[in-house]
Amino acid sequence: MADPAPLLQVEALSKNFALKGGAVLHAVQNVSFSLRRGRTLALVGESGCGKSTTGRMILRLIEPSAGSIRLDGEELTAATAARMQALRRRIGIVFQDPMGALNPRRTVGASIIEPLLVHRIPASEHSDRLAGLMKDVELDPDFARRYPHELSGGQRQRVCIARALALQPELIVADEPVSALDASIQAQVLDLLLRLQAEHGLSYLFISHDLSVVRFLSDDVAVMYAGRIVEQGPKAAIFSQPAHPYTRALLAAIPVPEAGAARVQPLEGILPDATQLLPGCAFASRCPSAMPRCQASAPPLFELPGGQRSACWLNESAQEAS
C-alpha cells in the first residue's frame, strides 16, 4: 500500500513443525504484513492461531520455514548468526509471563543490563543506562538491588520492558504483555507502553487475544485464524466494519463491561486440526455464511475500500477495482 519504507515488512511467512510420526503441523501459513515506524500493529487471534509463532519468527527465535522478513529493508531470514545477533539490538521482546522471563536468582538491575553485556556496551555506561531505563519505566532506583520475587506482577513487567529497551531498539515485539496483569495494573502498563512509544518513536508488534486492549493501543490490526491472516486493516475499520465472518464472531463474543451490553454470541465448533491442510477456507466449518465454494478453495485477501483486506469469498464483489 502507499507506504514507502515500512520498518518491518513480512511476506508470505510460514512455519511448519514436524511432529512425531511424520505429521506436519502448519502453524503459520503465508502471513504478510507491514509495520510503519512509530506505529502499532496488533496481531490478534485465539490460542493456537499462530500469532506468537509469528512474533518469535521476527527475531528468529523460531526459524521460518518459508517467506521473507525485512527490517528496514534488510532481509533477516538470510542474515548470518553474527549479523542476526547485531540486528537483534534493533528489536526488543516482551513476553506474557514476567516471572518466567526473569532469572529468579539475579537482581532486577542485573537482568536489565544483561543485554548491555551481551552486546559489549562499555561497563562505564552501565550505571547511567540502568538509571535511565528504570526512570523510563517508572521504577524506583532502589529496586535494582531486589529480586523478581520481591516485586509485584506489574513491577516485574516493567523490569521486562526496561530490559527490552536496554539497547534502544526501534521495534518491540510484545507478546501478550498485559494479559497476566490485573485490570488496574494492566491500565498502568498500557499507559507506560504508549508513553514510551511517543518518547522513543518505537514501533510495536503487539500480540494479543484481548480485543479491548488492542482497540485501545493499536493503529492497525491483523486478525489470525488457524495460522493465516483472515483480515487486516486500520483499527477503526476492523472494529466498526469487520468484513470477515470470523472477525465479526470474535467481536460478538467479547463480553463488554457496560450496562445493557448485548448478550455475547457463542461461535460453535473448534479450530480445525492444524496437521490437515484444507483446500478451502479454514473457518468454513464454523462459519455461519459458509457456501459450497468455501470448502473447495481458499479465498485470497481481497482489497476493500479504506485499506482493509479480508480473506472471504463474500468480499470478492466488494473488492476495489485494481
Partner 1 sequence: MEPLLDVRELRLSLPGGGSVRAAPVDGVSFSMARGECVGLVGESGCGKSLTSMTLMGLTRSLPGARIEGQALWDGRRPAGAASAGPIDLLALSERSMLQYRGRSVGMVFQDPLSCLNPLLRLDYQIAEVLRRPQLTDTGQRAGLRGASLKQRIIELLDMVGMPQPEMRAQQYPHQLSGGLRQRALLAIALAGEPELLICDEPTTALDVTIQAQVLATLRRLQQERQLAVLFITHDLGVVAQLCSRVLVMYAGRIVESAPTEAFLRDPQHPYSQGLLASLPGRQQLRSRAGHERLYSIPGSPPRPGQFPPGCRFAPRCPRAADVCRSSYPAMQASAAGQASCWFPGAAADSRPASSAAAVAGEQR
Minimum distance, C-beta of residue 263 to partner 1, in the bound complex (Å): 7
Using the contact rule CB under 8 A, the part of the chain among 10-18, 62-70, 210-218, 313-321 near partner 1 is 210-218
Q: What is the 3-class SS of the chain, one letter each residue?
A: CCCCCCCEEEEEEEEEEECHHHCEEEEEEEEEEEECCCCEEEEECCCCCCHHHHHHHHCCCCCCCEEEEEECCEECCCCCHHHHHHHHHHEEEECCCHHHHCCCCCCHHHHHHHHHHHCCCCHHHHHHHHHHHHHHCCCCHHHHHCCHHHCCHHHHHHHHHHHHHCCCCCEEEEECCCCCCCHHHHHHHHHHHHHHHHHHCCEEEEEECCHHHHHHHCCEEEEEECCEEEEEEEHHHHHHCCCCHHHHHHHHCCCCCCCCCCCCCCCCCCCCCCCCCCCCCCCCCCCCCCCHHHHHCCCCCEECCCCCEECCHHHCCCCCCC
Q: Is 167 among the residues that bind partner 1 (CB under 8 A)?
A: no
Minimum distance, C-beta of residue 268 to partner 1, in the bound complex (Å): 7
Pick 7 or 113: Cβ nearer partner 1: 7
Binding track, positions 215-254, relative to partner 1; x by CB under 8 A: xxx-x---------------xx--xx--------xx-xxx
Q: What are 110's three cell numbers?
A: 542485573
Q: Is 213 among the residues that bind partner 1 (CB under 8 A)?
A: yes
Burial class (CB in 10 A: 0-12, 13-18, 19+), 227: buried
Minimum distance, C-beta of residue 59 to partner 1, in the bound complex (Å): 25
Using the contact rule CB under 8 A, the part of the chain among 15-23, 25-33, 92-100, 178-186 near partner 1 is 178-186
Q: Please count the residues of this chain forming the interface with partner 1, following the rule CB under 8 A.
A: 48
Using the contact rule CB under 8 A, the part of the chain among 53-61, 161-169, 184-192, 300-308 near partner 1 is 184-192
- Count CB-CB contacts under 10 A for residue 277: 14
Q: Is 27 among the residues that bind partner 1 (CB under 8 A)?
A: no
Q: Is 199 among the residues that bind partner 1 (CB under 8 A)?
A: no
Binding track, positions 39-78, relative to partner 1; x by CB under 8 A: -------xx-------------------------------
Q: Which of 260, 279, 292, 322 binds partner 1 (CB under 8 A)?
A: 260
Q: Is 190 among the residues that bind partner 1 (CB under 8 A)?
A: yes
Q: Is 211 among the residues that bind partner 1 (CB under 8 A)?
A: yes
Pick 46 or 72: Cβ nearer partner 1: 46
Minimum distance, C-beta of residue 256 to partner 1, in the bound complex (Å): 5
Contact call for residues 131 and 158 (beta carbons, < 8 A): no
Minimum distance, C-beta of residue 295 to partner 1, in the bound complex (Å): 20
Chain residues binding partner 1 by CB under 8 A are 46-47, 152-154, 182-188, 190-191, 194-195, 198, 209, 211-213, 215-217, 219, 235-236, 239-240, 249-250, 252-261, 263-268, 270
